[in-house]
Structures are given as C-alpha cells and as structure tokens.
Chain A
Amino acid sequence: MRSITRQKPFTEIEESLKRFNQVYIIGCGTCATMTKTGGIDEVLEMKERLEGLEKAVTGWTVVPIACDGMTDVTIKENERAVRKAGCILVMACALGVHRVTMYTSKPVIPALDTLYMGVEEKPGHFKEVCAQCGQCVLGETAGICPLTACSKGLLNGPCGGTNNGKCEVDKEKDCAWTLIYQRLKLQGRLDLMRKYHPPKNHQAAPRPKHIKL
C-alpha cells in the first residue's frame, strides 16, 4: 500500500511560504520517494527553487517513514536547524504532515497533495484500489473494488454508460462492472452479481474516524 501524492503547483507553495523567510524541509523515504514527489532528489530541487526565491533553507532531511513515530526523533536531532526556521515544509503525504504537526509547534506547510491509497501495478503505475469504506465487498465482487474502480461507486451492476467494456468517463478506462462480471463468470460465481446490495452505510466508521485498541 502506498499513499499517492502529487506535488502542489509551485505558485501555491510560494504563496503558502510568503510570510516565511527561513524554511526547513522534510521529505519521506517511503511513499513520496517511490512516487518521486518527496525523495532526496525532489527535496534538493525544492531547496534550490526556494533559494531562488531568496529564502534561507535552514536545513533538510528525508525521514525513513514520515508517518511513523520515529519522525519525532529526527526532528529532535535536527532541533537547531528546525528552530531557526519560520516553518517546516513537508514533502510527504498528509499522514506525514500530521506526524510532523504532532511533534512541533512550528507552522507546518504541505508541499504535496495527497490523492489516494494505491498499489504499484507496474513500475511507475499507481492505481487506487481501496477507498477505506468500512464495509468491504471484495468477496462478492471478485476482488475488484466497485467503490474505487467504478467512476460512480455503484454497488448493483453497470450503469448505462458502459461501452464495450469501457467507462463513459474515459474511453481508456475499463468499466469496473464489466471486469467484475468477467471475473465472476470465470469463477462460476455470477449469481453474486444478482445479489441486491442495499444503500451503503456511510457511517460504518464514524467521523472523525478513530480506533482505540
């Protein structure tokens, strides 16, 4: 599982940093490195661009896993450079941004937009496979998630927009329900497609979602 991110437009980053002349940058060695949005190369490039805007980069680091508790240790180790900065620019997904926020009183600015949880299908191709809906139906849909793979998140079969196995929103995109149909048929479980799925419980995990073991 990977948290898939995209770098924000640089003008937006510039705008968020307007009131800060000293910046500390934190990248992430896991997901953001894989998606080439917050690894060492991207952090160094960001450093250069910020210096081009006459900002002082008081320091930078790429923590192994930004969303992990170890991030606290890294921030403490770099305390002097962090203290000199007006803010911390985080080049990790929003989970990393939250972690950093937990461990510092400095303003924390995200440099990335967090898009979805995905898996790497083949090198460089990250696919959304789960929207963490709280009521998994994969057992009845041949392992294809209708909430993420279907553009409308439909639970009871294809809409009228399906066309030769493609989806109405994009001729390149497979229709999830055609895939589900084909796979269920192959498995001899087509009866599952006839099953009625009642409206989804959108409060299956109440908001804000929080589990205490």
Chain B
Amino acid sequence: MESRFKRALNSGKFVVTCEVGPPKGTNIEKMLHHIDLLKYRVDALNVTDHQSSVMRFPSLGGCLSVKERGGEPILQMTCRDRNRLALQADLMLAHTRGINNVLCLTGDAVVVGDHKEAKGVFDLDSVQLLRAVRQMEAGEDLAGNRLDGAVSFCAGAVVCPEAKPIEPQLIKFEKKVEAGAEFFQTQGIYDLDNFANFMQHARQFPVKILAGIILLTSAGMAKYMNANIPGIFVPQNLIDELASAGKGQALQKGIEIAGRMIAAIKKEKLCDGVHIMAIGREELVLDILRAAEI
C-alpha cells in the first residue's frame, strides 16, 4: 500500500516534513505535544534515531505515537546500533504497525554521543540498508530466505549538497538512488545558489528532494555550526543579519530567515519541498510555516 507521505510526494504539491526528537527517559509528554501540534500541518514527521549518538527513547516508539495520534511518521533508521538481523526485524514490526516510510542513514559515529565506549555496529551501511528494504519488499530476507509476508516502504535517504569535495558525495547519492531511494532529505542548506547547482544535477534522477532547513537561533549558533557541523555552511550575510537583530530578537530573525528561504524555494520551484529541523524547538515549526506563508 502506498503511504500517505508517498502520495503527497507524488501529488506535485510542495511537501513539508519536520522532526520530532524522542526524549531521554520515559516522559514522552513533550514529544506527544509536538506531535499533536504538527501532525496536521506537515505531510510527515521524521522521528530521530538516537540523534547524534545520544541514547534516547526509540524512533520506532515515537513513530507508533505519531501513528496512533493520526500523523504520518517517517522512521529514521541508522546502522550504528543494530546488525542486519535487528534492522530487518524492526522493518517488519514497523510495517505491521502501519509505519511505511523509512529514512535509511549510516548514523553518526559512537564517539560523538554520550555512550562513548559502546560498540559501533555498522554491519550495514545506508546503501546496503536501502537495498535490504527493497529485497524484503520482494519477499526475501538478506540471507535469501522467503518471508511469510513482505514489507512495503517509501524509502529515502540523506544527501549533503554543501559537502566539500562534492563529487564523492554525489557518487554516494547516485548509489542510493540505484539502491532504491525514492526521496532525499538534505543536510541543512543556506545558500540557494549552491543548492540550485546541486538540484541541476539531482534533477536527472527520478527522486524527490526535500531541502533541509535548520532553524538558526543566533549568530553564535550559526558560527558554531560552520565550525563544527560537517556539510553546513551559513553565509556571512546571514550571520550578520542575525547579529544585527536586537537583543532577544535573534530567534525571531532566525524564524524569518527560515520562512524566507522556504518561500523562495517554493516560489522558484527549486525542489519538491522542505524538511524543517528546529532541533528541540519543534513548536517553532508553526511560526516558520507562517513566516513562509504555508
């Protein structure tokens, strides 16, 4: 069965997704609140999987909550914590519970997170995981055994349009397309000219691209991301714009910038939609959408 998200991708409309981050602990109230706020305002909600290698409530659990509350979940799955048996098992569980969108990720390294002595699994990588999804859809597990009941997913992946050098990143992008990725959510982008160049390349392939929009909360945060987050490049004029906002106004400015970028992407039809990351401030996604007039 086609997922609701897949129908949205194929409808030709400007698609919007955003994220919910499960909590560290069993108090899921805030996550449920975010889900309720956003579930009818976006086409699908990604649920992050131990984001930045920090141990949290599971992505699959968050996706079940989204589903129960009438939203459309995208299951984020990294290869860091589970071997091929566990990944396949979780895909089957997701399928039986009506979770039919999956984002296949390699996952951050263990050492950037909070359980630094853990074993990084990486039995599969993102390309192999995408292929595993397709193989299971064909009714076969990774060992070639027949499944009594296949899965079905709208499967996606990520790409980093600002990576330097870009060529290895594009080769990997193409490998993901060949492996069966139907949609891509990009790493945060800020330079629309660069992004347009990337899109010119990406347009050759039959995939939907959602531009990653990370909310900037201050000039300091933007500089921090430039220095520390791979593949993020916030141009100086945006940093200046944030810095020039009055005291306590930087966040508002960040919302304005995000709204402006989304509106421009939509107007210029640069790609098929956006993926908004407000990192812990998910309630602000509504303000961003308002600023973008969506």
Q: Do A and B bind each other?
A: yes
Residues of A bordering B, CB below 8 Å: 151-165, 168-169, 177-178, 181, 185, 190, 193-194, 196-200, 202
Contacts of A152 in B (CB 8 A): 80, 106-107, 109, 120, 122, 125
How near does chain A come to B168, taking the closest CB pair, in angstroms? 4
Partner of B168, one of A157, A164, A169, A197: A157
Q: Chain A contacts of B131 at CB under 8 A? A: 196, 198
Cβ A153 vs Cβ B122 within 8 A: yes
Name which residue of chain B comes closest to A161, CB basis: B230
Of all chain A residues, the one with the shortest Cβ separation from B127 is A156
A177 interface neighbour in B107, B109, B168, B179, Cβ under 8 Å: B168
A157→B165 CA distance, assembly (Å): 13
> Which secondary structure dominates where chain A touches chain B?
loop
Report yes or no: B122 in contact with A157, Cβ–Cβ below 8 A: no
Return the CB mask of B125-138 against A: 1 if under 8 Å, else 0: 11110010000000
Q: Assess whether A165 is in contact with B111, with CB atoms less than 8 Å apart.
A: no
Q: Could you tell me if B165 and A165 are in contact, using CB atoms closer than 8 angstroms?
A: yes
Cβ contacts B94-110/A at 8 Å (1 or 0 each): 00000000000011110
Residues of chain A contacted by B106 (CB below 8 angstroms): 152, 154, 159-160
Determine the chain A residues whose CB is within 8 A of the CB of B112 once the complex forms: 168-169
Measured CB to CB, the closest approach of chain A to B175, in angstroms, equals 6
Asked if B142 contacts A168 (CB within 8 A), the reply is no
Chain A CB within 8 A of B258 CB: no
Cross-chain contact A160 with B187 (CB below 8 angstroms): yes
A-facing mask of B148-190, CB < 8 A → 1, else 0?
0000000000111001110111011011001100000001000
Contact partner of B172 (CB less than 8 A), chosen from A153, A157, A190, A197, is A157
What are 5 sample pairs from A and B whose C-beta atoms fall under 8 A apart? Answer: A162-B231, A168-B112, A181-B168, A196-B175, A199-B124
Asked if residues B165 and A194 are in contact (CB atoms below 8 Å), the reply is: no
A175's nearest neighbour on chain B, judged by CB, is B168
Given contacts A157-B127, A160-B231, 16 further A-B contacts (CB under 8 A): A152-B80, A154-B106, A156-B172, A158-B163, A159-B126, A160-B163, A161-B108, A162-B230, A165-B165, A169-B111, A178-B165, A181-B165, A194-B171, A198-B128, A199-B128, A200-B123
